[in-house]
């Protein structure tokens, strides 16, 4: 819980000094020449676990803001297939520890193919930072809990910073547009602090659901990866079977699981696809699901929904950094109520250094 509450500072520390001036920051910070970003054909984001979910969010940012084709892969799969990666591609390798075995092997393969590698890492001098061509550190400080929280926020923030500078470097974003994005990004720590104030309400919800054996999390667009990450957090520390799904995929199988005993968490904050998300909400509600909804303050009528957590209005693209916070707290409180070891869950290690 302490590390969850450190996340506003983690976000600020990752951003610090990386916006002024808007040009030349990556070259100054990690020695990466701006021409690399201009010439990149495809960006490949490679990671494992929570870092993989950060990459899935980053994919939306890179394709929307930068306009560059972006692929996301789990390192454990990437390293064993015949990849089409070339010297014209840029690899973003994400790891909190910088020691994840599969990520290191994937980086080795990418470099053998001639690709350049930019690492996003929290640990100075780690194996990943030595293997990469450049490293952008997240500066989150030590993360002791096995289940990653503040490192995830740092990774998301770092990817947003890289996307911003890549967009300006490639000319897909003007400096004026870049300044507007920075103005939004620097407000994120304050929005996280507002989300943390929901802790008491989240605890009350946890009291009602701590004995459940199954959970379903659904989201759309940029918040689909947050549904995946929220489910992972609950699995990791409470040992509850939890699944994250794209809301539009419910009718392709998962809706068969819905009954009056199934808790469903719906990420329904302000978005271009909110109407679609609300339609999915009605589908699960009609089947008797126990609903927990993340919504935007002043947005949406959820009077018939059992539990609603209201978050401040956040720009859609940046909403994942804020929306994950109450879901981390939900996992924490449920785990605590079930008597689980929140910081050292069974069978897990902080860094997966072997296959």
CA distances (Å), 239 to each of 175, 210, 250, 257, 328, in order? 47, 11, 23, 19, 14
| DSSP code, position 269 | -
According to the model, what pLDDT value does residue 30 have?
82
Element (H, E) at 101: helix 101-112
pTM of the model: 0.95
As averages over each run of 10 residues, the pLDDT of the chain (355 residues) reads 92 90 77 83 97 98 96 94 91 95 96 96 95 95 87 97 92 93 96 98 98 96 98 97 95 91 96 94 93 90 90 97 98 97 85 71
Q: What pLDDT, on a 0 to 100 scale, did the predictor assign at position 191?
A: 98
What is the Cα–Cα distance from 15 to 8, expressed in whole angstroms? Answer: 11
The C-alpha atoms of residue 90 and residue 111 are separated, in whole angstroms, by 10
- Residue whose tokens read 């010439």: 39
- What does the DSSP 8-state code read for residue 54? H
pLDDT one-digit tens code per residue, 30-64: 888 777 888 899 999 999 999 999 999 999 999 99
Report the pLDDT value the prediction gives residue 189, as an integer from 0 to 100: 97
- Name the token pair of 81: 């297939």
Cα separation, 122 vs 141, in Å, equals 7
Q: Which two tokens stand for residue 193?
A: 């602090």
d(CA 246, CA 126): 34
In order of their start, the domains of the chain are 2-186 (3.40.50.10490), 193-337 (3.40.50.10490)
Cα separation values, 332 from 127, 254, 256, Å: 31, 25, 28
């Amino acid at each position: 819980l302490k590390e969850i509450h450190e996340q506003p500072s983690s976000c600020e520390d990752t951003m610090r000094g990386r916006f002024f001036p808007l040009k030349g920051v990556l070259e100054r910070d990690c020695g990466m020449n701006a021409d690399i970003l201009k010439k990149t054909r495809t960006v490949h984001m490679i990671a494992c676990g929570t870092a993989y979910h950060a990459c899935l969010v980053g994919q939306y940012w890179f394709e929307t803001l930068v306009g560059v084709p972006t692929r996301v892969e789990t390192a454990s799969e990437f390293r064993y297939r015949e990849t089409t990666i070339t010297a014209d591609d840029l690899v973003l390798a994400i790891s909190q520890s910088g020691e994840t075995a599969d990520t290191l092997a994937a980086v080795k393969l990418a470099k053998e193919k001639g690709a350049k590698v930019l690492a996003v890492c929290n640990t100075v001098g780690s194996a990943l930072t030595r293997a990469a061509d450049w490293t952008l550190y997240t500066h989150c400080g030590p993360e002791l809990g096995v289940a990653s929280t503040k490192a995830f926020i740092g990774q998301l923030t770092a990817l947003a910073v890289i996307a911003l500078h890549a967009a300006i470097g490639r000319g897909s974003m003007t400096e004026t547009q870049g300044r507007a994005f920075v103005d939004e990004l620097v407000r994120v720590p304050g929005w996280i602090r507002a989300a943390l104030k929901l802790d008491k309400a989240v605890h009350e919800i946890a009291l009602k659901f701590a004995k459940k054996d199954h959970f379903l999390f659904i989201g759309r667009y940029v918040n689909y990866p947050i549904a995946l990450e929220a489910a992972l957090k609950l699995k990791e520390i409470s040992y509850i079977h939890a699944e994250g799904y794209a809301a539009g995929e419910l009718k392709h199988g998962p809706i068969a699981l819905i009954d009056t005993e199934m808790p469903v968490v719906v990420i329904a904050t302000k978005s271009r696809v909110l109407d679609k998300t609300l339609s999915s909400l009605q589908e699960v509600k009609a089947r008797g699901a126990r609903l927990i909804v993340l919504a935007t303050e002043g947005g949406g009528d959820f009077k018939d929904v059992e539990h609603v957590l209201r978050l401040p209005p956040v720009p859609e693209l940046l909403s994942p950094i804020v929306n994950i916070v109450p879901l981390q707290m939900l996992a924490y409180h449920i785990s605590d109520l079930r008597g689980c070891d929140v910081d050292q869950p069974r069978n897990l290690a902080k860094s997966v250094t072997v296959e």
